[in-house]
Protein backbone atom coordinates (compact mmCIF):
# COMPACT_ATOMS: atom_id res chain seq x y z
CA UNK A 1 0.00 0.00 0.00
CA UNK A 2 3.01 2.20 0.50
CA UNK A 3 3.69 4.47 -2.46
CA UNK A 4 7.38 4.65 -1.56
CA UNK A 5 9.81 1.91 -0.86
CA UNK A 6 11.00 3.05 2.57
CA UNK A 7 12.09 1.35 5.77
CA UNK A 8 13.54 2.36 9.09
CA UNK A 9 17.17 1.81 8.18
CA UNK A 10 17.76 5.48 7.42
CA UNK A 11 19.76 7.69 9.72
CA UNK A 12 19.56 11.12 8.11
CA UNK A 13 17.98 13.25 5.40
CA UNK A 14 19.98 15.91 3.54
CA UNK A 15 18.37 18.57 1.42
CA UNK A 16 20.10 20.87 -1.06
CA UNK A 17 18.47 23.90 -2.62
CA UNK A 18 19.31 27.09 -4.42
CA UNK A 19 17.46 29.76 -6.37
CA UNK A 20 13.73 29.19 -6.16
CA UNK A 21 13.92 26.65 -3.37
CA UNK A 22 12.87 28.87 -0.49
CA UNK A 23 9.17 28.28 -1.03
CA UNK A 24 9.61 24.55 -1.32
CA UNK A 25 11.79 24.19 1.72
CA UNK A 26 9.49 26.39 3.80
CA UNK A 27 6.57 24.22 2.82
CA UNK A 28 8.46 21.05 3.68
CA UNK A 29 9.49 22.41 7.08
CA UNK A 30 5.95 23.58 7.79
CA UNK A 31 4.51 20.16 7.06
CA UNK A 32 7.07 17.96 8.71
CA UNK A 33 5.62 15.57 11.31
CA UNK A 34 6.22 17.06 14.75
CA UNK A 35 7.90 13.89 15.88
CA UNK A 36 10.13 13.60 12.82
CA UNK A 37 12.85 11.17 13.89
CA UNK A 38 15.79 11.78 11.66
CA UNK A 39 18.21 14.66 11.56
CA UNK A 40 17.29 16.93 8.65
CA UNK A 41 20.38 18.57 7.24
CA UNK A 42 19.92 21.54 4.94
CA UNK A 43 22.45 23.10 2.64
CA UNK A 44 20.89 26.04 0.84
CA UNK A 45 22.62 28.68 -1.20
CA UNK A 46 22.32 31.96 0.60
CA UNK A 47 23.80 35.41 0.76
CA UNK A 48 27.41 34.93 1.72
CA UNK A 49 27.76 37.90 3.99
CA UNK A 50 24.46 37.95 5.72
CA UNK A 51 24.87 35.93 8.86
CA UNK A 52 21.51 36.55 10.44
CA UNK A 53 17.94 36.41 9.27
CA UNK A 54 17.86 33.26 7.18
CA UNK A 55 17.47 30.84 10.10
CA UNK A 56 14.74 33.04 11.48
CA UNK A 57 12.96 33.17 8.12
CA UNK A 58 13.09 29.40 7.80
CA UNK A 59 12.05 28.82 11.41
CA UNK A 60 9.04 31.08 11.11
CA UNK A 61 6.67 28.44 9.77
CA UNK A 62 8.78 25.39 10.50
CA UNK A 63 7.42 22.70 12.79
CA UNK A 64 10.86 22.42 14.34
CA UNK A 65 13.41 25.11 15.07
CA UNK A 66 16.16 25.42 12.48
CA UNK A 67 19.69 25.84 13.83
CA UNK A 68 23.09 26.44 12.33
CA UNK A 69 25.60 24.00 13.76
CA UNK A 70 28.72 25.14 15.55
CA UNK A 71 31.93 23.47 14.39
CA UNK A 72 32.21 19.87 15.71
CA UNK A 73 28.63 19.88 16.98
CA UNK A 74 27.12 16.38 17.19
CA UNK A 75 24.34 15.45 14.81
CA UNK A 76 21.22 14.65 16.80
CA UNK A 77 17.99 12.89 15.99
CA UNK A 78 15.00 15.01 15.15
CA UNK A 79 16.94 18.24 14.70
CA UNK A 80 16.97 20.51 11.68
CA UNK A 81 20.37 21.92 10.72
CA UNK A 82 21.24 24.61 8.21
CA UNK A 83 24.68 25.28 6.72
CA UNK A 84 25.82 28.69 7.98
CA UNK A 85 26.59 31.62 5.67
CA UNK A 86 30.07 31.70 4.15
CA UNK A 87 31.09 28.27 5.48
CA UNK A 88 31.12 24.87 3.87
CA UNK A 89 29.42 22.30 6.08
CA UNK A 90 30.80 18.74 6.16
CA UNK A 91 29.82 15.69 8.12
CA UNK A 92 32.47 13.73 9.99
CA UNK A 93 32.57 10.02 10.71
CA UNK A 94 31.83 10.42 14.41
CA UNK A 95 28.50 12.00 13.35
CA UNK A 96 29.45 15.60 13.92
CA UNK A 97 29.63 18.67 11.71
CA UNK A 98 32.81 20.36 10.55
CA UNK A 99 32.83 23.83 9.09
CA UNK A 100 35.37 25.21 6.68
CA UNK A 101 36.18 28.38 4.78
CA UNK A 102 37.73 26.61 1.80
CA UNK A 103 37.50 28.11 -1.67
CA UNK A 104 34.04 28.38 -3.14
CA UNK A 105 32.88 25.37 -5.09
CA UNK A 106 30.44 25.77 -7.97
CA UNK A 107 30.61 29.43 -7.04
CA UNK A 108 29.09 28.66 -3.69
CA UNK A 109 29.99 28.56 -0.05
CA UNK A 110 28.27 26.64 1.43
CA UNK A 111 28.46 24.19 -1.47
CA UNK A 112 25.74 21.55 -1.61
CA UNK A 113 28.16 19.03 -3.11
CA UNK A 114 30.32 19.13 0.01
CA UNK A 115 27.48 18.53 2.43
CA UNK A 116 25.91 15.82 0.28
CA UNK A 117 29.15 14.06 -0.46
CA UNK A 118 30.39 13.95 3.13
CA UNK A 119 26.93 12.88 4.29
CA UNK A 120 27.02 10.04 1.77
CA UNK A 121 30.41 9.03 3.05
CA UNK A 122 29.28 8.99 6.67
CA UNK A 123 25.78 7.49 6.30
CA UNK A 124 26.23 5.38 3.15
CA UNK A 125 23.01 3.50 2.27
CA UNK A 126 21.31 4.95 5.34
CA UNK A 127 20.94 8.38 3.78
CA UNK A 128 18.20 10.11 1.85
CA UNK A 129 19.26 13.00 -0.38
CA UNK A 130 16.81 15.54 -1.73
CA UNK A 131 17.70 18.22 -4.28
CA UNK A 132 15.38 21.14 -4.89
CA UNK A 133 15.11 24.02 -7.35
CA UNK A 134 18.26 25.87 -8.38
CA UNK A 135 19.99 27.67 -11.22
CA UNK A 136 23.35 25.90 -11.24
CA UNK A 137 24.85 22.41 -11.06
CA UNK A 138 25.82 22.33 -7.40
CA UNK A 139 24.53 19.20 -5.69
CA UNK A 140 24.52 16.99 -8.80
CA UNK A 141 27.81 15.33 -7.90
CA UNK A 142 26.71 14.98 -4.29
CA UNK A 143 23.53 13.22 -5.40
CA UNK A 144 25.59 10.85 -7.48
CA UNK A 145 27.74 10.04 -4.46
CA UNK A 146 24.65 9.32 -2.38
CA UNK A 147 23.32 7.03 -5.08
CA UNK A 148 26.69 5.31 -5.56
CA UNK A 149 26.89 4.55 -1.87
CA UNK A 150 23.42 3.02 -1.86
CA UNK A 151 21.34 5.87 -0.43
CA UNK A 152 18.02 7.09 -1.79
CA UNK A 153 17.95 10.12 -4.08
CA UNK A 154 15.00 12.40 -4.69
CA UNK A 155 14.86 15.47 -6.89
CA UNK A 156 12.13 18.06 -7.01
CA UNK A 157 10.10 17.52 -10.16
CA UNK A 158 11.49 19.97 -12.75
CA UNK A 159 7.98 21.02 -13.65
CA UNK A 160 7.43 21.95 -9.99
CA UNK A 161 10.67 23.97 -9.81
CA UNK A 162 11.03 27.68 -10.22
CA UNK A 163 14.40 26.94 -11.84
CA UNK A 164 15.02 23.35 -12.83
CA UNK A 165 18.74 23.42 -13.74
CA UNK A 166 19.86 21.86 -10.50
CA UNK A 167 17.58 18.83 -10.34
CA UNK A 168 18.09 18.28 -14.08
CA UNK A 169 21.86 18.27 -13.63
CA UNK A 170 21.50 15.59 -10.97
CA UNK A 171 19.21 13.54 -13.21
CA UNK A 172 21.80 13.70 -15.98
CA UNK A 173 24.59 12.55 -13.72
CA UNK A 174 22.87 9.74 -11.89
CA UNK A 175 19.75 7.65 -11.97
CA UNK A 176 17.72 9.31 -9.24
CA UNK A 177 15.19 7.18 -7.38
CA UNK A 178 12.27 9.61 -7.21
CA UNK A 179 11.20 12.72 -9.06
CA UNK A 180 8.60 14.34 -6.84
CA UNK A 181 6.81 17.65 -6.44
CA UNK A 182 7.01 19.41 -3.08
CA UNK A 183 3.78 17.87 -1.81
CA UNK A 184 5.00 14.39 -2.71
CA UNK A 185 8.31 15.05 -0.99
CA UNK A 186 6.34 15.87 2.14
CA UNK A 187 4.29 12.68 1.70
CA UNK A 188 7.54 10.78 1.38
CA UNK A 189 8.93 12.21 4.62
CA UNK A 190 5.67 11.51 6.46
CA UNK A 191 5.66 7.95 5.21
CA UNK A 192 9.31 7.58 6.12
CA UNK A 193 8.67 8.80 9.61
CA UNK A 194 5.92 6.19 10.12
CA UNK A 195 8.55 3.47 9.79
CA UNK A 196 10.06 4.59 13.07
CA UNK A 197 6.90 4.51 15.14
Partner 1 sequence: MFDSQKVYSGSGNSPGHGSDKIQEVEIADLRKITQAVKNCYGYDFTEYAMSSFKRRIQRILELYKLPTVDHLIKKIETEKAFFEEFLPEITVNVTEMFRDPSFWREVRDHIIPNILLNHETFSIWHAGCSSGEEVFSMAILLKEMGILDKVNIIASDIDKPILSKAEKGEYIIKNMELNEKNYIRFQGTSTLKNYYEEKNGKAVMDQSLIKKVSFRNYDLVRGGVFNKFDLILCRNVMIYFNQNLQNSVLKKLHESLFKYGYLAIGSKESLIWCEIANKFIVVNNEEKIYKKIKE
Active site residues: 18, 45, 138
- Closer to partner 1 by CB, 114 or 180: give it: 114
Chain residues binding partner 1 by CB under 8 A are 49, 51, 68-73, 84, 87-88, 90-93, 96, 98-103, 105-106, 111, 113-114, 117-118, 121, 138, 141-142, 144-145, 148-149
To partner 1, the closest distance from the beta carbon of 135 in angstroms equals: 16
Closest CA to 87 of 61, 66, 63, 69: 69
Q: Minimal distance in Å, beta carbon 82 to partner 1?
A: 12
Instruction: Give 56's contacts (C-beta < 8 A, 6+ positions apart).
Output: none
Nearer to partner 1 among residue 121 and residue 196 (C-beta):
121
Say how far apart CA 167 and CA 151 lie, in whole Å. 17
For partner 1, the closer CB: 28 or 119: 119
Q: Is 138 exposed, middle or buried (0-12, 13-18, 19+ CB in 10 A)?
A: buried
Question: Smallest gap, in angstroms, from Cβ of residue 43 to partner 1?
Answer: 11
Distance CA(117)–CA(136), nearest Å, equals: 17
Q: Which residues pair with 42 in a beta bridge?
A: 15, 82
Amino acid sequence: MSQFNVSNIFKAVVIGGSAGSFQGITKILANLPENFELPLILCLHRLKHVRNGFVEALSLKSVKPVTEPIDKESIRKGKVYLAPANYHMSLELGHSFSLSTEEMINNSRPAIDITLETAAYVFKEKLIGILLSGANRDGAMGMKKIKDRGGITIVQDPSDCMIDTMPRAAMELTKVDYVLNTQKIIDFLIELNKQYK
